[in-house]
Structures are given as structure tokens and as C-alpha cells.
Amino acid sequence: MLQEFRDFIAKGNVMDMAVGIIIGAAFTAIVKSMVGDLINPIIGLFMGGIDFTNSYAVLSGDVPAGATLEAAREAGAAVFAHGAFIMAVINFLIIAFVVFMLVRYVNKVKEAAEKEEEVVEEVPAGPSELDVLLEIRDSLKK
């Protein structure tokens, strides 16, 4: 069983998946920072200074006016955090777009490699060494 597990882990697909997960986690942190630190302030500027990160509605509980979303959650209030949802949607759209572009690029590279293989296959092969020797033998017999 240990040998089977070692063989499974050593397969290329598992290692590729592990690398993808690690890179994905790092990429998610970058996108989260880009959305939270760059995109949301720009959106807030165009929407009259609204900060989406702390945009929420209190459903029940007492929360002081102007408290951050984190403070409202720590106070135990039930909050409708629509700003956090908007941030999550923006994060998803950015990540989905980047993954789409990456898959598109990989597909183009694969298509280019397949076209090169087709070109190589179309080149007619000359006679083999055996064919040439047989032809020489036959011509000497005559």
C-alpha cells in the first residue's frame, strides 16, 4: 500500500496539481490585495466615497454608528455584509478572467505544437536504406 501511495504521489498530475494549488493560493492573496487596496477605493471614489469593505446593514444587535464590519461582528451583531460580498464577486471575476487568459494561452501553445507535428508528418520520407540496397541488388541482377 505504501508503494502504491508513493507511485500515486510521484505521478506528474499530482505534482502539477500541488504546484497549481500553491500558486493559486499566492495568486489569491495578490488579487485580494489588488481588489481591497486598489479597485475598491477607485470604485468608492466614483460612488461618492463609499467604502465597500465596511459596507453592511445591521440586522439585529447594537452597533455604534460608524463601526467597521469587523467591530460589528466582534460585538456579536447579525450583519448583512453586502460590501464583503461585492468584494468577493470582484475577486472571483478577476481570478476567473486571469484563469481564462491562462487557459487560452496554453491552448494556443498546444495548437501551435500540434501544427508543427502535422508539418513534420506531411514531409514524405525518402526510401529507406533497405529499399536502396534492394534496388541496387535488383539493378545488378539485370
Q: Where are the beta strands (DSSP E) in 62-137?
A: 78-80
pLDDT at position 122 is 58
- Those residues whose C-beta lies under 8 Å from the C-beta of residue 86, and which sit 6 or more positions away, are 52, 55
Backbone angles phi, psi at 51, to 5 degrees: -100, 110
Over residues 43-88, the pLDDT tens digits come to 778 877 766 777 888 888 888 888 888 888 888 889 888 888 887 8
Which has the closest alpha carbon to 76: 85, 63, 64? 63
Least confident of 26-40, 46-60, 95-109, 117-131: 117-131
At residue 121 the predicted structure's pLDDT band, cuts being 50, 70 and 90, is low
Instruction: List, as one string, the DSSP characters of 85-103.
Output: HHHHHHHHHHHHHHHHHHH
pTM above 0.95, yes or no: no
At residue 108 the predicted structure's pLDDT band, cuts being 50, 70 and 90, is very high
Percent of the chain with pLDDT over 90: 1
Which has the closest alpha carbon to 37: 92, 99, 90, 97? 90
* Three-state DSSP class for residue 132: helix
81: left (phi over 0), alpha (psi -120 to 50) or beta: beta
